[in-house]
A and B are shown apart, each in its own frame.
Chain A
Amino acid sequence: MFNETVLKEIDEIKGRYPDFRSALLPALYVAQREFGWLSHEAMSYVARTLNLPEAMVRGTASFYSMFKHKEAGRHLIQLCTNVSCMILGAERLVDFLRTKYGMEPDNTTQDGRFSLVIMECIGACGTAPAMLVNTDFYDNLTEGKIEEILDKYK
């Protein structure tokens, strides 16, 4: 179950909205931060804390692509391949991640270092192609630049 500090945090979030159910998405984010991903167990903690049916919690969580339903690697790479990024070569970068690092979309590398997710537009189209590594933004990507960046994430 969540520890006292987390329970307090969720309680405080509940107070920000006229109806406590609005705390569901923020609470799922908190659970994801605490456990790294949303296991059934984590979602049932959220359900208990907010006093909501588990089915409702799971049904809501599954709608949103930023909630992870399996264990992710140490670093999450979110690479955009939507139109603006695609026409500037984003797909080549996916191939590069595949051949150089053994990454597959929606999968984690064998050593647990990286998980790769293909993203829809992340609002960096003016400096495409772009990606997020965890919560850090990187743009104007090339193969060389990606190599340099990923060296920082062990």
Chain B
Amino acid sequence: MGKILLKNIENSNSADINEYLKIGGYKSLIKAFEMQPKDIIGEIRESGLRGRGGAGFPTAMKWSFAFADTKFPKYLICNADEGEPGTFKDRPILEKNPHLLIEGMVISGYAIGAEHGYVYLRGEYPYAKEVLNKAIAQAYEKNYLGDNILGENIKFHLTVYQGAGAYICGEETALIESLEGKRGQPRSKPPFPVNVGAWAMPTIINNVETLSNIPYIISVGGAGYSKIGARECTGPKLYSVSGCVEKPGVYELPMGTILRDIIFNYAGGIKSGKKLKAVFPGGISTPVLPADNIDCPMDFISMPRFGSMLGSGAVIVMDESVCMVKVAYRALKFFEHESCGKCTPCREGTDWLRKILERIECGKGREGDIELLSEVVDIMYGRCFCPLGDSAAGLVMSMIKHFRNEFEEHIRDKKCKNQK
């Protein structure tokens, strides 16, 4: 499979519109404008594209809900909050291939009938903001954005909105709250954003990577696209690989590539000849997998069968020297800090889990702490307002399931043997 999403990024000037045009950029836009919006959605349906933000929801289905809604105006939002720890896959698109995203957004806007798009960009990406704003200005200049795009009676405007350091704002309804100038707390669903979204209007929210697939789908057609990847999970996928591997980085591979292959083949295996211990396959919000359970196809449908999820495709690799209690403690510190405080199970549960894990890690663990952790997890699981709390509970649950002996050892020996 040739590169689709990361095409041309070795070119140091790849973010410039002229370089993008040289490799056939904006041709899909011209083609899309010759199609009817419903036919574009038809191609997307045929392509089998699923959202890359974490949940894997079929993109065409989401679009057709917004398309069918008769309220106007409609809005298109690109989720560029990329906050899931371990994830850095949207960054190369934003920094090196911004026109691919812009082209994808103009086509998507045309398809669902939105005339204004917003890129919700995380605050911690100042360079991406600069590149994106420059690219948007160039696109306006060349008339790929504006009131009469390419002389047609088609309008699309694009604005970058900078987040301010809150992980929860990656959740789509919290994102909308934030875009409206409020605290980023999730809304209850239904109503779903496709009907009542930003400023109470029909709104499509898609991840950066999802939208960046659109130009290629239009160019080769839905059927052509669906030949890439796995049967029910098609297309190319960006995997961010980090941690104890020889060659960390973002790898563009067919959806459904085997996790073992990603770690040992593409990322060069474990650093310094050490042994693999555990992997988060899709960021720390996805349950941890032990070393003997990594022959799984990395796609949305297969991963649950192996006890985890694809999430954002952020593969965090841990070798034998990494202490699992410490990882769990650090992860819970994150979830506690990022819990928005709206619902009790998440707000209190993450605090409890962090406190118990902290004392176990520091050698102050008590008999019965593992049972206490399990009890808190049980109370949280399925009772949180949004998936953040469930992810925190799921992480602890998977850690205890696979590495219970390490927790017991910490409590018994009253120390972490990795601590100096």
Contacts and interface: CB of A to CB of B under 8 A. Distances in A.
Contact of A22 (B124, B180, B242, B284): B180
Nearest to B126: A135
B124 A132 contact: yes
Contact of B337 (A19, A87, A120, A126): A120
- Most central of A16, A59, A78 by chain B CB within 10 Å: A16
Contacts of A19: 180-181, 199
Contact of B178 (A17, A18, A25, A132): A25
Contact of B242 (A64, A78, A128): A128
Contacts of A144: none
A124 B180 CA distance: 28
A105 B125 CA distance: 21
A88 B83 CA distance: 19
Contacts of B243: 83-84, 87-88, 125, 128
Interface residues of A, number: 40
Contacts of A26: 161-162
Contacts of A120: 83, 85, 167, 334, 337-338
A28 interface: yes
Nearest to B327: A83
A29 interface: yes
Interface string B219-257: 000000000000000000000111110001110000000
Nearest to B128: A123
Interface string B101-127: 000000000000000000000111111
Interface residues on B, range: 35 or more
A65 B165 contact: yes
B91 interface: yes
A82 B330 contact: yes
A18 B124 CA distance: 26
Interface string B322-357: 100011001100100110100000000000000000
A6 B215 CA distance: 39
B316 A125 contact: yes
Contact of A25 (B85, B181, B240, B334): B181
B91 A64 contact: no
A59 to B, nearest CB: 6
Contacts of B123: 64, 66
A23 B181 contact: yes
Given A21-B181, A125-B248, A63 B166 contact: yes
A84 B338 contact: no
Given A29-B162, A65-B164, A84-B316, A24 B330 contact: no
A86 interface: yes
Q: Which of A26, A125, A135 has the most CB of B within 10 A?
A: A125
Contacts of A81: 330
A51 interface: no
Interface in A122-140: 122-128, 132, 135, 137
Contact of A125 (B73, B85, B162): B85
Interface in B132-189: 159, 161-167, 178-184
B125 A66 contact: no
Contacts of A126: 88, 240-242, 248-250
Interface in A1-56: 16-19, 21-26, 28-29
B53 interface: no
Contacts of A128: 242-243, 248
A93 interface: no
B84 interface: yes
Interface string A74-118: 000010011110111000000000000000000000000000000
B205 interface: no
A121 B322 contact: no
6 contacts: A19-B180, A19-B181, A78-B124, A82-B334, A84-B86, A126-B88
Interface of A: 16-19, 21-26, 28-29, 59-60, 63-67, 78, 81-84, 86-88, 119-128, 132, 135, 137
Given A28-B164, A128-B248, 20 more contacts: A21-B182, A22-B179, A22-B181, A25-B164, A25-B178, A26-B161, A26-B162, A29-B162, A82-B85, A82-B334, A83-B280, A83-B316, A83-B327, A84-B85, A121-B83, A121-B85, A123-B82, A125-B240, A125-B242, A126-B250
Interface of B: 73, 82-88, 91, 122-127, 159, 161-167, 178-184, 199, 240-244, 248-250, 280, 284, 314, 316, 318, 322, 326-327, 330-331, 334, 337-338, 340
A-B residue pairs, 3 tightest by C-beta: A64-B164, A24-B181, A66-B165
